[in-house]
Amino acid sequence: MVLISFIAISCDSAGESEQELVKEGGPFAISEIAGNWEATQAGFLRISDNLWVPIVSQGGSVSLTVQSSGRSTFVINPVDRAAYTASGEMFWGSYEGDEALIIVWDDSPDPDDRSSFRSIELTDTTFNMACTSVCAEYDFNGNGTSEEADLSFEFIRN
């Protein structure tokens, strides 16, 4: 049973789902984040009541591998449940008029569905990304039912 998952966002605004996704033109080239990353902070936020679940500080882990082409794989390993892997491809695009790092997930049946990360920061040694656009699901109660969530990751280069 998958208890943690990223969900893709289908943009409701006219033309949003047909937006151009590009590899160039963002605040940095996607190839600049190529490599292996380990989270120093990672968590899911339940939107309905602002419940924050801090995966890393509870003893879990999150890793990210990015290829120079933008192919990416996240491995999320909370302490209280089985690890989950999600992979997709990174692009630059927009979400509700803001520039965003867009991930089109491999397991999405609709190619127009995606997750949009509007809060992104890259330095020589760190990569931070967060969404406030319902880009994930998480089983907050451990009852087998995933709920909509936002998330935040702070990575260091491995």
- Assign 4 a pLDDT band (cuts: 50, 70, 90): very low
SS3 labels along the chain? CCCEEECCEECCCCCHHHCCCECCCCCCCHHHHCEEEEEEEEEEEECCCCEEEECCCCCCEEEEEECCCCEEEEEEECCCCCCEEEEEEEEEEEECCEEEEEEEECCCCCCCEEEEECEEEECCCEEEEEEEEEEEEECCCCCCCCEEEEEEEEEEEC
Range 57-65 average pLDDT? 97
pLDDT one-digit tens code per residue, 9-28: 333 333 344 468 998 889 99
Q: State residue 19's pLDDT score.
A: 63
Q: Which residues of 77-91 are buried (b: 16+ CB within 10 A; e: fewer)?
A: bbeeeeebebebbbb
Domains located in the chain, CATH noted:
4-9+17-157 (2.40.128)
What is the average pLDDT score of the chain? 85
pLDDT at 71 over 90: yes
Distance CA 30, CA 10 (A): 22
Range 102-108 average pLDDT? 88
Distance CA 98, CA 131 (A): 12
Residue 79 main-chain phi, psi, to 5 deg: -70, -35
pLDDT at 76 over 80: yes
pLDDT at 120 over 50: yes
- pTM for the model: 0.84
Q: State residue 1's pLDDT score.
A: 30
